[in-house]
Structure 1
Amino acid sequence: MTDSEETPQENEEQLKYPDVVEPVLDLDLRLLVLMVNTEENRGTSVSITLHVPGGLVSGELIGREDYLDRLDRVASGAGMSGIVGFRRKAAEVLREAGVRKTDDLPRWIHLQDAAVVGPNGRLLTFPVWRGRLADVAGWSLGAFR
């Protein structure tokens, strides 16, 4: 065997598993989401339009805690009182179990009074909307109604 030939064991080690590649998230958008997620900016909203696969989403960017408050109000008003507070309860259970966040920057975006335009041009409105930042292809300040 020459120096350039690999043993079967060396070849197996090289072929184990590929690295997982995550999409690069827009840093400016993540920082904007981080800003509205802070306690001192609680209650703050920013008009925004997001370009996502299949259409546009437009509304008021709000922080996670404001999103959870609004989600609870919507659930209560729709007669779904059993799910009120479930996200906070789940987060508490995870914290107690020692589960920690691996990334301090947000990976999700929350809107209130959202309008969604799909590929057929139909406009749908929602009191709250949540989406993955990884699915946002572009964004602009300002919302359409």
Structure 2
Amino acid sequence: MTDPTTEPDASAPAVDWDPASDPDGLTWEDVQSRDAYLDFLLDLYFDTADQGRGALGLTLTVGGAVVSGIAISRAEWIERSVALLASPDTTPASEHLDQIWNRLHGRYVEVSKRRDDAGLPIRARRFVHMRDVRILNGHSTDVSLWRGALADVSGWTIGSWNPPGTLTSEQESGA
């Protein structure tokens, strides 16, 4: 969404960084922000490691649909997703999913911290995570959790049509 020909990217890596010698093999594509303004806003609420506990009303345009809800961190999205799947019948599966997703997220946090401490650019945010979501695409669909690729976002605004806690318990459970 950001026009790179007219706006400098505040999240762009320092010019002396060379992807050819990056210790983790990251490329310009890996560290380049899709939208510096949206990334900065999400970093402000959830930090660059995407583990903060804030909440931000956000409305996005994605593939012609409007997606409106409360943006949350990846850590909170993992926690809520696992909780949605947990039941007496699925406890082993949800516990395994919890371990795998948290291990992946933990690795991301560790690498981001190490790179930041070394003055290297970190991997750019690639997804936005939301709760209490309403999707409008000819009709309205409410979902409790949503994850979408930032590369698919063509527009956004601060604010949501779904204030926190407006979904019914049936909508929360996916029924």
Question: Which residue in the other structure is 1:25 paired with?
Answer: 34
Q: CA RMSD in A?
A: 3.1
**How many residues are treated as equivalent by the alignment?**
119
Structure 2 residue 100 is matched with structure 1 residue 83: no
Following TM superposition, by how much is the alpha carbon of 1:35 offset from its aligned partner in structure 2, in angstroms?
A: 2.4
8 Å CA contact 2:34, 2:150 repeated in 1: yes
Relative to structure 1, the CA distance from residue 71 to residue 57 in structure 2 (aligned partners, 3 Å threshold; closer, same or farther) is same
Render the CA deviation track for 1:80-101: whole Å, top value 9, x for unaligned.
4313403113456x67xxxx57
Contact residue 75 and residue 105 of structure 2 kept, 8 A? no
Once the two structures are TM-superposed, the CA of residue 58 in structure 1 deviates from its matched residue by 0.4
* Structure 2 residue matching 1:29: 3-state secondary structure: helix
Q: Give me the TM-score of the superposition, normalised by structure 1.
A: 0.67
- Determine if contact 2:68/2:135 at 8 Å carries over to the other structure: yes
Give the one of 159, 166, 174 matched to 1:142.
159
Name the residue aligned to 1:127. Answer: 144
Amino acid aligned to 1:46: L
* Residue type of the alignment partner of 1:62: I
Q: Amino acid of the residue matched to residue 102 of structure 2?
A: R
1:113 partner amino acid? D
Q: How far apart, in 2, do the equivalents of 1:135 and 1:144 lie? A: 20
Unmatched tracts of structure 2, length 5 or more: 1-27, 113-120, 163-175
Which structure has the greater CA radius of gyration?
Answer: 1
Match of 2:78 among 68, 71, 76: 68
- Contact 1:34-1:105 within 8 A present in 2 as well: no
Deviation of 1:124 (Å): 1.0
Q: Which residue of 1 aligns with 2:24?
A: none
| Identical positions, percent | 23
Q: Which has the higher contact order (CA 8 A, sep 6+)?
A: 1
Inter-CA distance 78–123: structure 2 relative to 1 (3 Å threshold): farther
Matched to 1:48, the amino acid is: L
Matches within 5 A, 1:1-80: 25-38=34-47, 42-76=52-86, 80=90
Contact 2:33 2:124 in 1 (8 A): no
